[in-house]
Amino acid sequence: MSLEKILDAHRDFWLMNNSKPLMHIGEYSPLRRDDKIPLSDGRLVSDNVYLCPDLIDPKLLIQRLKLDEESPIIYGDFLRTLVPSDFCWTQAFIGCPICVNSGKVWAEPFIEEIEKINSYLKINEEWLKKLLEFTSALIDFSQGRFPVAQPLFRGPIDMAASALGSDRLCIAIYKRPDLLGNLLSFCAKVFIDALLEQLRLLPRFQNGYSCVFGIWAPEPICRTQADYSVLVSPEIYEKIFLPHDLKIIKTFKYTIFHLHSANIHIAEKLLKVPELKAIQVSIDYPAKAFSPPLEKLIPVFRKIQEKKPLIISGPVTKKELQLIRRELSPEGLALNLRILAS
């Protein structure tokens, strides 16, 4: 399919008017844990290294993309989109130490006492500058061939969980919801301000914008999430955390909310938000113990499709793919799936 037809299909997706889902079906391969990250001082690191903005050289990381003038922009019905590498940006913005372990980047807690939350509400400007530098480097590299977009931003509950640690987060919900609210409000503002700063740099692509999911829209797209909602009930999420997610959702015309199948329980709360444009669900594998089986996810997917476009990602069996195709409407549906070996 040509790029023009792909973009037309994406327009129909947002309008929930597509006669067939956007699709890309690939083969599943397990996550690698041996990746080494190149640093500006010449090191290749994978374990027990704390990062600072000065150690991150966007050009070194862009070289690893292995893209050239012959690289296709389309994979299946999706766009290849360039985003800054994941350095736990939003957690770094609020002061979390950022480290590399097992080839992956993690954010560590830094608020040790709940009662002192207010004294920590300061943005790390150096990390924000690094995001903007990385974005500019991608724009220069792309030369308009690929869209450049927002990297993975964790939402307020995930930022707070990183800053406090999951145990202190849960304690704060019950013992100091006022101070937790201050932290969450700060996190939402940092998220919004940082994304607006990045969006000021982003050029339009085919008279629109893309996102990390490879979906195109006529206006800038925000991707947010609430992974740590897995720790709380839908009612607590709605009371304590959703108001801060709403600040983000209402700031951007096209917001996609990322969920895992393990925290699908908050989907109905999100469906009450008319300003939320779409929901994306990543199917958790191999963490099946924490996730409902696909058969139980199907009714939730149907409820989502009654109100909003739905993007489903992750690994499935061939039978599960057949179930999804059979049971879900193609209207407002995007499937970026990996087939598990039999």
Could you read off the pLDDT of 212-266 as tens digits, one per residue?
A: 999 999 999 999 999 999 999 999 999 999 999 999 999 999 999 999 999 999 9
Q: What are phi and psi of 270, to 5 degrees?
A: -70, -30
| Mean pLDDT, rounded, for 10-17 | 98
Q: Is the dihedral of CA 154, 202, 128, 179 positive or negative?
A: negative
Task: Note the pTM of the prediction, 2 decimals.
Answer: 0.96
At a CB cut-off of 8 Å and minimum separation 6, what does 204 contact? none
pLDDT, one tens digit per residue, over 53-108 is 999 999 999 999 988 888 999 999 999 999 999 999 999 999 999 999 988 999 99
pLDDT exceeds cutoff 70 at 33: no
pLDDT, one tens digit per residue, over 96-154 is 999 999 889 999 999 999 999 999 999 999 999 999 999 999 999 999 999 999 999 99
pLDDT at 342: 64
Can you give the CATH number for the domain in which 270 is found? 3.20.20.210
pLDDT, one tens digit per residue, over 178-214 is 999 999 999 999 999 999 999 999 999 999 999 999 9
Average pLDDT in the chain:
95
Pairing of strands 37-38, 44-45: antiparallel
Contact by Cβ (8 Å): 103, 37: yes
**Number of neighbouring beta carbons within 10 Å of residue 238:** 18
Structure tokens at 118: 């207010």
The parent domain of residue 89 ranges over 3-339
pLDDT at 35: 77
pLDDT at 92: 98
Among candidate residues 71, 67, 73, 68, the one with its CA nearest the CA of residue 4: 73
pLDDT, one tens digit per residue, over 259-274 is 999 999 999 999 999 9
First to last CA, the chain: 30
pLDDT at 289: 59
Higher-confidence position of 28 and 135: 135
3-state per-residue secondary structure call for the chain: CCHHHHHHHHHHHHHCCCCCCEEEEEECCCCCCCCCEECCCCCEECCCEEECHHHCCHHHHHHCCCCCCCCCCEECCEECCECCCCCCHHHHHCCCCEEEECCEEEECCCCCCHHHHHHHCCCCHHHHHHHHHHHHHHHHHHCCCCCECCCCCCCHHHHHHHHHCHHHHHHHHHHCHHHHHHHHHHHHHHHHHHHHHHHHHCCCECCEEECCCCCEECCCEEEEECHHHHHCCHHHHHHHHHHHHHHHHHHCCEEEEEEEHHHHHHHHHHCCCCCCCEEEEECCCCCHHHCCCHHHHHHHHHHHHHHCCEEEEEEECHHHHHHHHHHCCCCCEEEEEEECCC
Q: How far is CA 14 from the centre of its chain?
A: 18
| Mean pLDDT, rounded, for 329-334 | 98
pLDDT exceeds cutoff 70 at 288: no
Rg (CA), the chain: 20
Higher-confidence position of 290 and 172: 172
Is 250 exposed, middle or buried (CB count within 10 Å of its CB: 0-12, 13-18, 19+)?
Answer: middle
Looking at the structure of the chain, the number of domains it has is 1
**Paired strand residues for 336:** 24, 313
pLDDT at 31: 61
At a CB cut-off of 8 Å and minimum separation 6, what does 299 contact? none
